[in-house]
Chain A
Amino acid sequence: MSVNKLGKFAVIGLSAAWLAGCSTTATDTDSSTVAEDATSTEQVEDSAAADSTDQSFGAGEDGAVTSVIVDDSAEATEEPMVDPLAGVDTVFYFDFDKSIVRPAAREALAKHAEFLVANPDARIVLEGHADERGTREYNMALGERRAKAVSRYLTIQGVAASQIETVSFGEEVPVAFGHDADAWQLNRRVEVRYE
Chain B
Amino acid sequence: MLKRCLSAVFVFFFFVSTAKAQLVIEITSGADQLLPIAVVPFGYDGVEALPEDIAQIVQDDLARSGLFQPIPRSNMLSMPSKEEDVFYRDWRLLKSDYVVIGSVKKLPNNKYRIGFELLNVLSQKPVQKHSSIDVGVNNFRDAAHYISDKIYELLTGSRGAFSTRILYVTAEGDRKSPLFRLQVADADGHRPQVVVESKEPILSPSWSSDGRKIAYVMFRNRRPNIFIQELASGKRQQIAQFRGLNGAPAWSPDGKKLAIVLSKDNNPEIYTLDIATQKLERMTNHYAIDTEPSWEPDGKGIVFTSDRGGNPQIYRLDVNSKQVERVTFEGDLNTRARMTPDGRYLVTVQKNDGNYHIALQDMKTGRVQILTETYLDESPSIAPNGSMVIYATTYKGKGILAVVSVDGLVKYRLPSADGDVREPSWSPYFK
Contact = CB atoms under 8 A, between A and B. Distances in A.
Given A9-B136, A63-B142, A68 B197 contact: yes
B28 interface: no
A140 B261 CA distance: 10
A9 B263 CA distance: 44
B133 A141 contact: no
Interface in B76-111: none
A30 B238 contact: yes
Contacts of A25: 4
Given A3-B134, A9-B142, A47 B243 contact: no
Contacts of B12: 15, 18
Interface string A62-97: 111111111110010000000000000000000000
Contact of A72 (B220, B224, B335, B356): B220
A67 to B, nearest CB: 4
Task: Name which of A13, A25, A42, A69 has the most chain B CB atoms within 10 A of its CB.
Answer: A69
Given A34-B278, A135-B336, 17 more contacts: A6-B146, A9-B134, A18-B15, A26-B8, A31-B237, A32-B238, A46-B220, A59-B234, A64-B193, A67-B193, A69-B196, A135-B349, A140-B247, A141-B263, A172-B201, A179-B375, A179-B394
A3 B131 CA distance: 9
Given A34-B239, A137-B292, A57 B376 contact: no
Contact of B220 (A21, A70, A145): A70
B423 to A, nearest CB: 7
Contacts of A18: 8-9, 11-12, 15
B25 interface: no
22 contacts: A8-B430, A9-B136, A9-B146, A11-B136, A42-B243, A44-B221, A54-B236, A58-B8, A60-B232, A61-B232, A65-B193, A68-B229, A69-B196, A75-B221, A127-B222, A135-B378, A138-B289, A138-B291, A140-B248, A145-B289, A173-B178, A175-B175
A35 interface: yes
Nearest to A1: B131
A33 B233 CA distance: 19
Task: Name which of B8, B131, B356 has the most chain A CB atoms within 10 A of its CB.
Answer: B8
A137 B234 contact: no
A30 B237 contact: yes
Given A56-B234, A56-B235, A68 B195 contact: yes
A29 B234 contact: yes
B191 A48 contact: no
Contacts of A22: 4-5, 8
Contact of B240 (A34, A68, A125, A140): A34
Interface size, B (range):
35 or more
A144 B245 contact: yes
A150 B241 CA distance: 23
A142 B268 CA distance: 10
B167 to A, nearest CB: 10
B132 A1 contact: yes
Contacts of A135: 292, 305, 335-336, 349, 378-379
A47 B124 CA distance: 70
Contacts of B247: 137, 140-141
Interface in B158-206: 175, 178, 184, 191, 193-201, 203-204
Contacts of A106: none
B223 interface: yes
Given A40-B264, A135-B349, A72 B221 contact: yes
A100 B223 CA distance: 23
B232 A64 contact: yes
Interface in A14-30: 14-15, 18-19, 21-22, 25-26, 29-30
Nearest to A29: B235
B292 A70 contact: no
Interface string A156-195: 0000000001111110110100010000000000000000
B66 interface: no
A168 B245 contact: yes
B205 to A, nearest CB: 11
A137 B336 contact: yes
A14 B190 CA distance: 14
B219 interface: yes
